[in-house]
Structure 1
Amino acid sequence: MGVKSLGYAVVETMQPDRWDHFLTQVAGAMRGAPASDGAALYRVDERPFRFRIETGSADRLAASGYEVEDKAALDALAEKVRAAGRPVEMGTPELAASRCVAGLFRTTDPAGNGLEFYHGDQRAETPFVSPVGVPHFVTGIYGMGHSVLAAPDFEASHAFYRDVLGFHDTDLPHFFLMGGDHDPGMRFAFMHADNGRHHSVALAEMPVPPSQSIHLMLELPSLEEVEKAHARMVAGGYKESATLGEHVNDEMTSFYVQTPGGFDLEIGCNGLVIDPATWEVTAHDKVSKWGHVWAWQTEAAEGAA
């Protein structure tokens, strides 16, 4: 058994109030019980938190937290990461308690992106109730959603996630997003954990941004709920990073909104569920079937005009 799913995201911010508004009033997350160390916790299901918001000196994704089966799996993975030359910081009991887990370790990938791996998840004592009426998010065995990270040394990062961490290739496209004869294109690796979500992590061949994330994704149960979230984004004055559209590879119908951390949150529905035991790797050449007009594309077109 390898990595089970994406469990949580740890975000450092200079704007905790802005994050509170964004998560509760746009995404529809529920405030969790206050953390003993002052961090703000936000729920989208029965887990004590999926977003941990820590006040600090930067706005960035500090870590993506992934669950493994048990202590033996955690210890074995830590040894593999050490053997690959990456740092391993075993979590103290206090750190584990702050994540509501039995044990964990911290590391970074070859691009310096923060990662945490844990076992022994907990459940909250009270049911999830969204402050804006979201009935539920698609989580459970599929985890929180997915995390998309930059990988300037693409081959080294891809090999680390595949051969060391144990993620599995789902789709390995080479997108030409800029167009024209001089566009070198950009490689991506969409990778699944040991569940049916199309990808729990994805890597993009690009420099690491200051936010240390490209985007996170949350899945809602219906297109109606996605449209309601889009309306909340507009009402809240948040920047739309990409219009509503449907992806080719994971069939997710979604839009993208810029978070207070500078990276995006994809909010979607109807994501493809694969059979990880029989899946054959694909290599799509298009990002979307329709829609997903990016803000940078609109800005470039307006500048050219």
Structure 2
Amino acid sequence: MIQELSYVGLASPRSEDWRDYGPNLLGAMLVADGPGGAVRLAVDDVDYRIEIHRAEADEFRYAGWGMANETDLHAYVDLLAGRGVDVHQGDQTLCREREVAELAWFSDPWGLRHELSWGKSATPNSFQPGRVMRGGFVTGDQGLGHVVFQVPDLVEANRFYADTLGFRLSDRIINDHFNIRFYHVNGRHHSLALAETPGHIGFNHLMLEYRHMDDLGRAIDLLARNDTEIVQTLGRHTNDLMTSVYIGSPSGLQIELGYGGLVVDDLSWVARTYRKPSYWGHRYTGNAMTKARGIIRSIA
């Protein structure tokens, strides 16, 4: 089964802006470019986990999900094929580009691309934060962080992501404004969340978690200097207990920067339903109330 969110890829006409945004604000490490001048960022000793390709419009390109080893990857691909998923084998060129030993990929019912791989390249003791930080990012056996997709039909999406792919439900938030389900693949409370947005599909945000509250606070202090807006103010979520802020990025999607997320244990975890997303905070700013956030497209 899937072990982690391993990497993400997007594309943007402002990909070059990530060379400053990634290190100077987020604290990520700028590493050597990918093919075609793609900007690559590391957040730990994995050689890179975030890649921004050059393009004429903001696009979500792929989410990379890590498997433990080649045996698990082959078994999982066979399982998905048996459940009717059209899985494609990545060639050696693609494997070299992603810096993995082996790769397969498929698309969800609305065309969002997911890649499965094992053996992603890493260099011990290589990570150096792009700005002063106390502790870096929470990764390790929790993977990169989490991604949130907006989907037109949550029932169909749950059928695909949970019943077919095997993502495990952590909990859900339902009220007059939200219908969101949260899924885990390891100890991180959720590596994936799906938010129902009828008539639309896309990538809402990527969450990165700091090891120290001071690193989150310093990021907030740096927002004005880096000409980056707050989309949702500092707050604490009800379900994963994350203290976080949502900020803009050069490329449409939001970045959630957090601290103190809950770790789940499948042996004792019980999924709950929440009505409110936050105990306190997470107030939308003025611009965020009128401008759609994320790399989102309408569908027929």
Q: TM-score scaled to structure 2, two decimals?
A: 0.90
Match of 2:252 in 1: 262
Helix, strand or coil at the partner of 1:286? coil
Contact between 1:111 and 1:208, CA under 8 Å: does it hold in 2?
Answer: no
Matched residue type, 1:231: D
Take 1:70 and 1:164, find their aligned partners in 2: how far apart are those partners? Answer: 20
Q: Separation in 2 of the partners of 1:222 and 1:175?
A: 32
Check conservation: 2:148, 2:206, Cα contact below 8 A: yes
Report SS of the residue matched to 2:129: coil
Partner of 1:281: 271
Distance 1:230 1:145, change over 3 A: same
| Alpha-carbon displacement from aligned partner over 1:44-66 (angstroms, at most 9, x marks no partner) | 10001011111122212211111
Structure 2 residue runs without a partner (length 5+):
291-300
Choose which of 201, 226, 245 in structure 1 pairs with 2:192.
201
Shift of 1:209: 5.6
Give the aligned partner of residue 54 of structure 1. Answer: 53
Greater share of residues in strand: 2
Instruction: Tell me how far apart the structure 2 counterparts of residues 209 and 108 of structure 1 sit (CA, whole Å).
Output: 16
> Does 2:219 correspond to 1:220?
no
Q: Which amino acid aligns with 2:179?
A: R
Q: Is the 8 A contact 1:174 1:285 kept in 2?
A: yes
Aligned to 2:293: none
Aligned residue for 1:96, secondary structure, equals helix
Distance (Å, rounded) in 2 between the aligned partners of 1:48 and 1:298: 34
Tell me if structure 2 keeps the 8 A contact 1:187–1:205: yes
| 1:156 paired to 2:156 | yes
**Residue-by-residue CA offset, 1:6-49 (whole Å, 9 max, x unaligned):** 11111111112212221111111111123355322110100010
Number of residues paired by the alignment? 289
The letter of the residue matching 1:197 is R
What amino acid does structure 2 have at the position aligned with 1:48?
A: D
Q: Deviation digits for residues 43-96 of structure 1, max 9, x if unmatched? A: 010001011111122212211111012223222332343344443221111111
1:175 to 2:165 alignment: no
Pairing of 1:102-121 with structure 2 (within 5 A): 102-121=101-120
Residue 272 of structure 1 deviates from its aligned partner by 0.5
Using a 3 Å threshold, how does the CA distance of structure 1 residues 130 and 208 change in structure 2: closer, same or farther? farther
1:275 match: secondary structure: coil
CA separation in 1, counterparts of 2:199 and 2:40? 26
> CA separation in 2, counterparts of 1:46 and 1:106?
24
Matched residue, 1:188: 180
Provide the C-alpha distance between the structure 1 equivalents of 2:59 and 2:220, rounded to a whole number of angstroms.
23
The alignment's C-alpha RMSD in Å is: 1.9
Distance 1:133 1:191 in 2: 32
Contact 1:249–1:287 at 8 Å: present in 2 too?
A: yes
Taking structure 1 as the reference length, the TM-score comes to 0.89
User: Closer, same or farther in 2 for the Cα pair 1:298/1:126, shift >3 Å?
Assistant: closer
Aligned residue for 1:62, secondary structure, equals strand
Separation (CA, whole Å) in 1 of partners of 2:123 and 2:56: 30
State the AA in 1 paired with 2:128: V
- Counterparts of 1:209 and 1:23 in 2: how far apart (Å)? 28
- Cα drift, residue 144 of structure 1: 0.5
Partner of 1:140: 140
Aligned equivalents of 1:170, 1:66: Cα separation in 2: 18
The alpha-carbon distance between structure 1 residues 15 and 297, as it changes in their structure 2 partners (threshold 3 A), is closer
Number of the residue aligned with 1:10 = 9
Q: Could you tell me whether the CA contact under 8 Å between 1:113 and 1:149 is conserved in 2? A: no
For 2:27, give the aligned amino acid.
G
One-letter code of the match for 1:188?
Answer: I
Instruction: State the Cα distance separating 1:288 from its structure 2 match.
Output: 0.2
Query: Which deviations, in whole Å up to 9, do the C-alpha atoms of 1:238-274 show, x marking residues without a partner?
Result: 1211000000000000000111121100000000011
After TM superposition, give the deviation of residue 289 of structure 1 in Å.
0.3
Structure 1 residues 241 and 285: CA distance shift in structure 2, 3 A: same
Equivalent residue for 2:236? 246
1:293 paired residue number: 283
Query: Letter of the aligned partner of 1:189 in structure 2?
Result: R
Q: Secondary structure at the match of 1:294?
A: coil
Counterpart residue number, 1:182: none
Tell me the distance in 2 between the aligned counterparts of 1:209 and 1:8: 24
Partner residue in 2 for 1:82: 81
Distance in structure 1 (CA, Å) of the matches to 2:156 and 2:122: 36
Distance 1:283 1:297 in 2: 30
